[in-house]
Structure 1
Amino acid sequence: MSIFSKLNFKDQAFRLREDAILDATTSILASKGFDLMTMDDVANLIGISKPSLYKHFKSKEDLVGAAMIRLLDGASLQLESFPSEYSAKEKLSALLEWALRVRLDGGLPFLPSTSNAVREMLMRNLTYVGRVIKLNSKLEKLVIAAQKAGDLSRTLSPDVILFSYYARSCDPAVDYLQKFSKMSTDEIVENMLRVCFQGLEDAV
């Protein structure tokens, strides 16, 4: 085996471990939140030493930032995967469905909505901010296109629609429905999408 092959294998192993670290971080964030999560929690969950963890991420802030960046990248990739024949509203609906399913599976913590300190910490991460701006721009264009097509209200500001759309992905109703209702994941997702795009009234 050549030196290049060995290095390539090491790089792959490094990335796999990093993915495992981010998976563990996402899981702990979803259950404990940022303030209660520790680097020890992450290391213990995946069975590595804390010094090994610090080889990948030098602080809890860097680790959480990387986890959130990966989630944003996942959303962007999901958006790009939708068929070109989807309307703007269909793309918005399909992306929200993806986000809700990921969240119900414990993989989508919404840290920016939890505290000012967390928001400020993420805002200092320029890579994270760049990803947020890029995804927000794509979604804003979809909202405006859906309004022009008559699929979303033209009397509402695009900002109102966009931020209401974001709110649906971190709506605490999702958690309550999962914990206390007898609804399946599919039923929760279906009803949350209906609330988002049709409101609380029956269609006439």
Structure 2
Amino acid sequence: MGIFNKLSFKDQAFKLREDAILDAATRMLASKGFDLMTMDDVALEVGISKPSLYKHFKSKEDLVGEALIRLIDGAIEHLGQMPATLTPLQRLSDLLEWALRVRLGGGLPFLPSTSAHVRDMLTRNLRYVARVLKLHQQLKALVRQAKAAGQLDAALPDDVILFSYYARTCDPSVDYLRLYSQLDDEAIVASMLRVCFDGLR
């Protein structure tokens, strides 16, 4: 907030518009996906001209990259603000709960797409890759600590646990439960956490 206060009025307006653009892009990505989303859609959603949009982001790829960087930054920040008293497993559960709530609120999952084009685009975005690696290393450390404490199955490879964990943030079960079950969002989050950490047995 202090940094924001130091910005000039013009810079504050620019930053607010950029945040609005990223919010709109996030909603579009969540509802339409990368391939169907257009810069025209985003400009219309924000209520600005397309040339104004391009003052902030030079391409759809650039815009999507920034939206996903913001998501990962949010996860890293949430992880860093957790109480020191939480166990490794509680930290993993707390972050997954945060991610599920972000998604149910119209946000994006940790794994944005199975599209080869999107994966290649993100791989070329060095800022995104750096953020993802930072979060991945933090979560891998928590997985190893949880395994050492007997909170996770030590026989499972770290990557199996981690990628299963990431997949929960984009599990289509969340959408189906919202559409066809009588569960509210609180019950959906609680159920998804239970399935992730306790299984179906």
TM-score by length of 2: 0.95
Distance 2:20 2:152 in 1: 40
Deviations 1:45-79 (A, max 9, x none): 01000000000000000000000000000010111
SS at structure 1 position matched to 2:8:
helix
Question: Could you report, residue by residue, the CA deviation over 1:11-59 in whole angstroms, capped at 9, with x for unpaired residues?
Answer: 1111111000000000000000000100000000010000000000000
How far did residue 100 of structure 1 move?
0.4
**Structure having the higher Rg:** 1
| 1:75-132 C-alpha deviation (Å, 9 max, x unpaired) | 1011111101000000000000000011011111556433111100111100000000
Cα drift, residue 7 of structure 1: 6.4
Alpha-carbon distance between aligned partners in 2 of 1:54 and 1:109, rounded to the nearest angstrom: 25
Aligned residue type for 1:80: G
Cα RMSD between the aligned structures?
Answer: 1.4
Q: Percent identity?
A: 67
For 1:134, give the aligned amino acid: K
Q: CA deviation at 1:6?
A: 10
Contact 2:21 2:46 in 1 (8 A): yes
Q: What TM-score does the superposition give when structure 1 sets the normalisation length?
A: 0.93
State the one-letter code of the partner of 2:36.
L
1:143–1:158 Cα contact (<8 Å) kept: yes
Write out per-residue CA displacement over residues 142-186 of structure 1, whole angstroms, 9 at most, x where no aligned residue: 000000011111111111111111111111111110111110101
Aligned partner of 1:182: which letter? Answer: Q
- Given residue 84 of structure 1, which amino acid in structure 2 is its aligned partner? A
Q: 1:111·1:119 contact (CA, 8 Å) conserved in 2?
A: no
Where does structure 1 lack aligned partners over 5 or more consecutive residues?
none
Which residue of 2 is the match for residue 61 of structure 1? 61
Q: Does 1:46 align with 2:49?
A: no
2:22 alignment partner AA: L
One-letter code aligned to 1:47:
G
Residue pairs, 1:185-200, within 5 angstroms: 185-200=185-200
Contact 2:65 2:122 in 1 (8 A): yes
Count of aligned pairs between the two proteins? 197
Whether contact under 8 Å (2:101, 2:189) holds in the other structure is yes
What letter is aligned with 1:59?
Answer: S
> 1:132 corresponds to which residue?
132
Query: 2:111 touches 2:170 (CA, 8 Å); kept in 1?
Result: no
DSSP-derived class of the 1:76 partner: helix
**What's the secondary structure of 1:200's corresponding residue?**
coil
Change (3 A) 1:6 1:51: farther
